[in-house]
Structure 1
C-alpha cells in the first residue's frame, strides 16, 4: 500500500510568484485550482500502483495496454481554513483495490511556518479510480494490495467499507426507489409551510423564499486541447474547477453574501468530454437548512451539446455544500415539481451525511 504514496508541495508561503497564480478575489486561495491538483494526484497515485513506485511518467496508454479514469469523487471535506502564508502539502495513496477499481485517499496539510506552527490537515478526500483496457475499453484487472501492517489493514477495511456504502447509496437513490416515510413526511411538512399555492404566488416578492427554478445559473464554453488529459479527453480536474466556481457563484447569489466551501459531497463521471465539444454547465440550489451558519447544497450538471442536432448528454454530476458567511442568512429554496422535490430530498440527505461525518470527526 505504501508503494503508491505520493506527495508534492505548493510553496505558497515561500514563493510569492506561485501564490499569485492561486490568489482569489478576497486574497485567499482558489480552492477550485487545488481540486484540479487533487484529481491529478489521485490519477498519478493510481498509475503508480499499476506501474510501480519508481515510475516517473505514464507514457503511451496504448502501448501499456490500459488506462485509468476517475469514476467518482466520494467526498472532499474542508477541515480548516487555507492559509496563504504557509506552504501546502498534497498527498495520498491507494488504500483498497477491487477487481478493476482502486480507492484513493488524498489530503491537504499546511506545513510548519517560520514560527514553527504544527502541521495541520485541512482537507480529506476520497477518489474512486477504475482501470480500462486501452483497446477494448472494458474493465481491466488491477494489482491486488499487499497489506504489511495493522495500520494498512485498517485503511484497507475503510476502503472496502467506502465501496460498500457507495453501492448501497446507489441502490437507494431516489431515481430508483421512493423516499422513505421520514423523508416523505419532511417534504410534505415543508410543502405545507412554504409550497402552498398562495405562498408560491408571492415567492418572487419574498426575500426569504426562492423557487428552485429561479436559482438556475448556466455557463457554456468550448473545450480546448490545452485542457486535455493523457487520454486526449478533457481533464476531469479542469471540469471540477469549472463546476466549483459556478457552484460558488450560485451559492453566493442565493445567500446574497460570500460563502465558505464546506464539502464536495459527490461527483459522478459518466462520460468523457471530447476536445472541441461545447460544454453546458447548469447549476441549481437544491437544499438550504436552518442551521447557523446556514448550509446550502448546490448541484452542477455538465452536459455535452451536439451543435448539429442540439442533443445533450450528461457527462458529470457535481454536488457541493457551502456555508453562508452572513450568519443571519436563512433563505429557503422551494421545489415546485416532483423532480425538484426529489432533488431537494437528495440535498437534504447530503447535508445530513455531512453533519454526521463532521460530528464523528469532532468526537474523535
Structure 2
C-alpha cells in the first residue's frame, strides 16, 4: 500500500511539474520578435554542432541500439537525428541576452535521408554533424551527416535533411526566426539548394494524386495493370486473376497500435516526433521483411510529413502498405492516425515513405481498386525520386 501511494504521488508531482513548466513558458511570449527584421542574421557556423555516440567505447550504451542480428536499430538513429535537428535550430536562434528561448521548435518534415553505407556497426563510435542550410520567415532547413569510425577513420553513413518550424511558447502560432547570412560560395550553394528543395516540395504538393489526376503516362500504367489481371475466359470487367509472381496490394499490409504514454512526450506535452518515426520505421521494415521473405536493407527515407501533433494518451494506429516494387526494391508507405475512442474519430497525423532493397527479386505488387492504383503510382513516384537523387 505504501509503495502504491508513493507511485501515485510521484505521478502527480511529475504532472504538476510539467504544468508549471508550461505556465512559465507562456510568459516568454513577450520576448518574441515582431518581424524577422528585428532579429540579427546568423551564419551557418553559428548553428554547427558535432555530437558523438560512443557505441564502441561505451558498451553499456550499446544495448539500447542493438538489434537481434547484431546491427544498429535504425529507428533509434531516427530519434537521434530528430533531436539533433531541434538542437541545431535552437543554436541558430540562440540569443545570449535571454536566459530561455521563447521559441517552440518542432519537426515539420523529413525531406530526405539518403543512405551512403547500408551497414551500421554496433561496436563502432558514431559521429553526427549538422547545421542550418536555409531559412524562411518561420521555418528552418537543417542538414545533418552521420559517419562511423572504422579502420582508423570516420566513414560516411547517411545524409539527412529536416525542415523545422518555429512556434510561439504555447506552440499555437508561427514565430519568426533569424535570417541566414551565407559566407562564401559553398554556403551560397547550400542556401540555393535549400530554396530549390522548397520549390520541389511545393511542386510535388501541387501534383499530388490527392489533388490532381495522374499524368497520361501514369494512366497507361494503371490501365496496363488492369488488363494484365483480366480473366480472358470470362471477358468480364469484374473477373480478375492474379498474374504469376504477384501479390494483391490488399495482401501486403501490416498494422500496429501504440498507446502514447507520458514517457515519450516532449516539453510541449506532445509525443516526441522521433518516437513516431521509430515506430513507423520498425513497422515498415517488418512489412518489407514479411513481403520479401528476407531481412531488407534501407535505401532511403523521404517526405515524412508531420500533419498534426499526437497528444499524450492517444491511441496511435499505424498502417504499413507495400505500394510499389521493382526488381529487388520495395517501396513502403506507413500511415499513422490517432483514434479517439470517445468520439470514434480518426485523424491522420503522419505519412512516412521508406525505400528498402532485398537480397532477391520480390513479387510484383498489384492494385485492384482505383484507390490502390493511386497508392501504386504515388509509391512509384517516391521510388523514382530516390533512384534519380
TM-score, scaled relative to structure 2 = 0.83
CA distance 1:135–1:258, shift in 2 (3 Å): closer
Q: Is the 8 A contact 1:105 1:124 kept in 2?
A: yes
What corresponds to 2:284 in structure 1?
247
Shift of 1:234: 0.1
* Structure 1 residues 148 and 286, CA gap change in structure 2 (3 angstroms): same
From 1, 17, 29, the counterpart of 2:60: 17
Counterpart for residue 380 of structure 2: 348
TM-aligned CA distance change 1:135 to 1:260, over 3 Å: closer
Match of 1:218 among 251, 255, 266: 255
Structure 1 residue aligned with 2:339, among 293, 305, 322? 305
Q: Is residue 86 from structure 1 mapped to residue 120 from structure 2 by the alignment?
A: no
Cα distance in 2 between the residues matched to 1:279 and 1:176 = 26
Q: Which moved more, 1:274-283 or 1:132-141?
A: 132-141
* Aligned with residue 168 of structure 1, among 203, 213, 218: 203
Larger radius of gyration: 2
The reply on whether 1:321 has 2:359 as its aligned counterpart is no
How far did 1:301 drift? 0.8
Say whether the 8 Å CA contact 2:115–2:298 is kept in structure 1: yes
- Residue 191 of structure 1: CA displacement? 2.5
Deviating beyond 6 angstroms after TM superposition, the runs of 4 or more aligned structure 1 residues are: none
Shift of 1:36: 0.4
Matched, 1:30 2:73: yes
* Per-residue deviation, 1:49: 0.9
Tell me how far 1:201 sits from its aligned partner.
5.2
Which structure 2 residues correspond to residues 74-153 of structure 1 after superposition, within 5 A? 74-80=111-117, 81-111=119-149, 113=150, 115-116=151-152, 118-135=153-170, 137-153=172-188
The equivalent of 1:360 in structure 2 is none
Tell me if structure 2 keeps the 8 A contact 1:65–1:135.
no
1:187 matched to 2:222? The reply is: yes
Structural mapping, 1:216-295, within 5 Å: 216-290=253-327, 294-295=328-329
Structure 1 residue 86, shift from structure 2 partner: 2.0
Provide the aligned C-alpha RMSD in A.
2.0
Relative to structure 1, is the Cα distance of residues 8 and 222 closer, same or farther in structure 2, using a 3 angstrom cutoff?
Answer: same
- Equivalent pair of 1:304/1:315 in contact (CA under 8 Å): yes
* Secondary structure, counterpart of 1:119 in structure 2: strand
CA shift digits 1:19-72 (9 cap, x unpaired): 2221111111100111000011101111111125x79x995xxxx443111111
